[in-house]
Amino acid sequence: MIGAIKFLPARTFAAVAFAVSGFVGLIAWGEYSSWRSQVAGIEAGLVQTAKALVQHADDTVDMARFPLAALITRIEQERDVVDMPAKITQVMKRQVDTTPWLDALAVIDADGKMVATSSSIDASGMNFSDREYFVFHQSSDMQEPVLGRPLKNKLNGQWILPVTQRISNPDGSFGGVALAAFILTELTSFFQGFSLGSEGSFLLVRRDGVVLARAPFLQTQLGSSISNYDLFTDHLRQRHSGSYHYVSPIDGLQRIGGFSQSERSGLVGLAAVSQSEALATWMKGARIRWIACLILVAITGFLVWRWRRQVMLRRASEALLVAREAEFRLLAEGSADLIQRFNGHGIREYLSPSVREIFGVDAETMLGTHILENLHEDDHGAVAEVMARLREGSTRENMIVRRKRADGKQIWLETTLNRLPGGTGGTDIRIVAVTRDVTRQKSLQEELDVLANTDELTQLANRRSFNIHFEDMVLQAAQQHAPLSLLMIDADHFKLFNDTYGHASGDDCLRAVSNVVRGSIRRSKDLAARYGGEELAVLLPDTNGAGALKAAENIRQRVAGLQLPHEKNLPWGHVTISIGTATFYPAAGAKLTTAELFERADYALYRAKNNGRNQVAAGGDEAARPTVRPEIKSV
């Protein structure tokens, strides 16, 4: 490995050494930051555990306040009753049954004798005047409950945590003590419900430093004072909660602790874990990471050698890429189609020479322009969607758009866009587009569409086109809540016209009438069609009944004004038409089919003919409609 590195220039070797040193330094800093983060997380969790411990202790002590208050009130009420102890005993038993973790309630008189207790153990002959809590209340007028030192219950030998309250005689003198006893092991069992590892510990301490409870249970610690520990002399004087690192005086373990002091009762909770146990998993991971770091440093020399080789390979690859680029340009310049390359933002990076033939400008002029430039604005949305799909992962897209040439002429372009391999997606892509001018094909297609939808004789829309537009207009009218009117037009006595003047003249007559109809509708959304034979139809969207009648009357008058001879069309002697109108007024929940609207207009046309021809009739009078349409004579 060393031999492989020797041929490297000194500057390169120094740079590599500096990079490796920096890498190792970053790893070391990262490990230190990770250790601090791990410890901070442990500390935060322990502080929360300590807060939960203190909260539970506060709640437990508070549970004693209510039974004691009720007990003292009952004593004051039953003080002169002969069987008062028996009644008080019943009250205490009910209180114990309903209060979790409460071991017993008891009443001790002014001489230290137990007057009543909820316990079933006989307490006769026992005296409690030597208890610390008894001595305290005997000498103090304090009426509030007091949390005492942990002690052994004289009745059953269990460790208890006493909460006591003074009983005063009516004259204010000392009358005894009311006692609520909590089983200490029940409290420590709650502490051990938190997972602090096999070497973790909990401590509950009174505000004066007296140890009330410890888990794991350690009898020698109960009732002792730790007020001289720096937890009390330093930390608690600065803040009510926080982290606390210390060496345990009991087992000598280095511990990470979290403490919290209740603002309500002053109780202090301490939750602690063994530092070595808590950080064991992190230390194991750190060892693995350092081994990996050493391996990375060991193979750096190999990577440097590989780097030099990669430089040589990259140069060869770049030369190959230049050759392929030249080959691509040669192919593009020889193609009649326009070849373009875009970046992910749609900016042109290359155009083949055929851009002059298709766009009418030089390739240099188009470089750096956007794909949307000079495109018809109606096509911008479709092009943007195509580019978005390519950025999202599509490899091939097709589109047909309109573009304005340099000479102002609009052309149609068909483009196939292919996403090149590579790139990370999004705008970091390259796109090759092959574009051809399809204006001639588009024009031919449009001419075919016109022929397919236009009546050859009248140059109006044919019946097929009419039916398609009719369905669309009815749906649009319902959606927009706008009226839609239909005119049905029929040349009067047209069969007699053909019989008299011949079919060629009949065709001329239909063309003349159709020209009048076409010239009478000026809106682009209106549609005139030859429905069949001499019958024409006109669709007038957004037109009410009055507007339809006005339009129909205008057409009728203009046709009559042509004065085309028709000697059999009496009494006028010239060509006339009859028109039936029908209008659809959309309303909430209203539905109408094309067949129903057509039927109304057709029936109105029948009425116009039946009433003498050469007139306009409005449809829609359902009550007047016959069930069977009478035959119209001499159509």
pLDDT tens readout for residues 463-477: 998 999 999 999 899
Task: Please tell me which residue, 116 or 587, carries the higher pLDDT value.
Answer: 116
Range of the domain at 432: 334-444
Determine, yes or no, domain membership for 113. yes
- Provide the angle, in degrees to the nearest 10, between the axes of the packed helices 463-480 and 439-453: 90
pLDDT of the residue at 628: 32
Please state the rounded mean pLDDT for residues 67-90: 81
User: Binning pLDDT at 50, 70 and 90, where does residue 509 land?
Assistant: very high
DSSP reduced 3-state for 317: helix
Residue 279 shares a structural domain with residue 177: yes
Name the domain boundary from 298, 324, 346.
298
Q: Note the pTM of the prediction, 2 decimals.
A: 0.42
pLDDT of the residue at 497: 94
Element (H, E) at 92: helix 84-98
104, 121, 267, 119: which is closest to 178 by C-alpha?
104
Distance CA 74, CA 363 (A): 106
Residue 227 shares a structural domain with residue 342: no
pLDDT of the residue at 324: 63
577, 65, 36, 477: which is closest to 282 by C-alpha?
36
Residue 479 shares a structural domain with residue 620: yes
pLDDT of the residue at 288: 84
Q: How many Cα atoms are found within 13 Å in the side-chain-facing hemisphere of 16?
A: 19
Please state the rounded mean pLDDT for residues 485-493: 95
Determine, yes or no, domain membership for 449. no
| Phi-psi sector, 157: left (phi>0), alpha (psi -120 to 50), beta | left
Using an 8 Å Cβ cutoff, are 107 and 88 in contact? yes
pLDDT of the residue at 635: 32
Q: Can 534 be counted among the known catalytic residues?
A: yes
User: Binning pLDDT at 50, 70 and 90, where does residue 572 land?
Assistant: very high
Distance CA 153, CA 156 (A): 6
What residues have CB less than 8 Å from 568, skipping those under 6 apart?
Answer: 493, 496, 497, 499, 500
Please state the rounded mean pLDDT for residues 572-598: 86
pLDDT in tens, 249-306: 777 888 888 899 888 888 898 888 888 887 878 888 878 888 887 888 788 777 777 7
pLDDT of the residue at 73: 85
Residue 290 shares a structural domain with residue 342: no
Quickly count: other Cβ atoms within 10 Å of residue 194's Cβ: 17
What's the mean pLDDT when you consider all of the chain? 83
| Range from 12-26, 242-256, 316-330, 393-407 carrying the lowest mean pLDDT | 316-330
Determine, yes or no, domain membership for 324. no
pLDDT of the residue at 13: 59
Residue 568 shares a structural domain with residue 612: yes
Determine, yes or no, domain membership for 323. no
Looking at the predicted structure, is the pLDDT value of residue 625 above 50? no
Please state the rounded mean pLDDT for residues 181-209: 80
Residue 227 shares a structural domain with residue 346: no
Name the domain boundary from 444, 479, 514.
444
213, 175, 208, 199: which is closest to 61 by C-alpha?
213
Determine, yes or no, domain membership for 498. yes
Residue 119 shares a structural domain with residue 164: yes
Question: Both tokens of residue 612?
Answer: 């003498």
Distance CA 79, CA 96 (A): 22
Task: Please tell me which residue, 433 or 60, carries the higher pLDDT value.
Answer: 433
616, 618, 555: which is closest to 585 by C-alpha?
618
DSSP bridge partners of 274: 255
Determine, yes or no, domain membership for 347. yes
The CATH code of the domain that includes 518 is 3.30.70.270
Please state the rounded mean pLDDT for residues 413-430: 84
Residue 440 shares a structural domain with residue 480: no
The CATH code of the domain that includes 370 is 3.30.450.20
Looking at the predicted structure, is the pLDDT value of residue 577 above 70? yes
Residue 165 shares a structural domain with residue 18: yes
pLDDT of the residue at 244: 86
Question: Both tokens of residue 360?
Answer: 């009418």
Task: Please tell me which residue, 79 or 351, carries the higher pLDDT value.
Answer: 351
Distances (CA, A) of 53 to 57, 91, 628: 6, 30, 95
pLDDT of the residue at 271: 87
Residue 11 shares a structural domain with residue 113: yes
pLDDT of the residue at 158: 80
pLDDT in tens, 292-348: 878 887 887 777 777 777 877 787 777 766 666 665 565 556 567 888 899 989 999
pLDDT of the residue at 191: 73
Residue 472 shares a structural domain with residue 438: no
- Continuous H helices in 502-566: 503-520, 545-561
pLDDT of the residue at 550: 95
pLDDT of the residue at 605: 96
pLDDT of the residue at 309: 77
Please state the rounded mean pLDDT for residues 444-452: 72
| Range from 112-126, 220-234, 345-359, 453-467 carrying the lowest mean pLDDT | 112-126
CA diameter of the chain? 146
Determine, yes or no, domain membership for 328. no
pLDDT of the residue at 629: 34
Determine, yes or no, domain membership for 321. no
pLDDT of the residue at 11: 66
| Range from 199-208, 302-311, 369-378, 550-559 carrying the lowest mean pLDDT | 302-311
Please state the rounded mean pLDDT for residues 493-509: 93
165, 132, 130, 160: which is closest to 146 by C-alpha?
165
Examine residue 216 and say whether the peptide bond preceding it is cis (omega within 30 degrees of 0).
yes
Give the chain's domain count: 3
Residue 478 shares a structural domain with residue 439: no
Looking at the predicted structure, is the pLDDT value of residue 397 above 60? yes
Q: Which of 357, 364, 377, 534 is catalytic?
A: 534
Task: Please tell me which residue, 65 or 490, carries the higher pLDDT value.
Answer: 490
Please state the rounded mean pLDDT for residues 189-205: 79
Name the domain boundary from 282, 298, 314.
298
The total number of residues shown for the chain amounts to 635
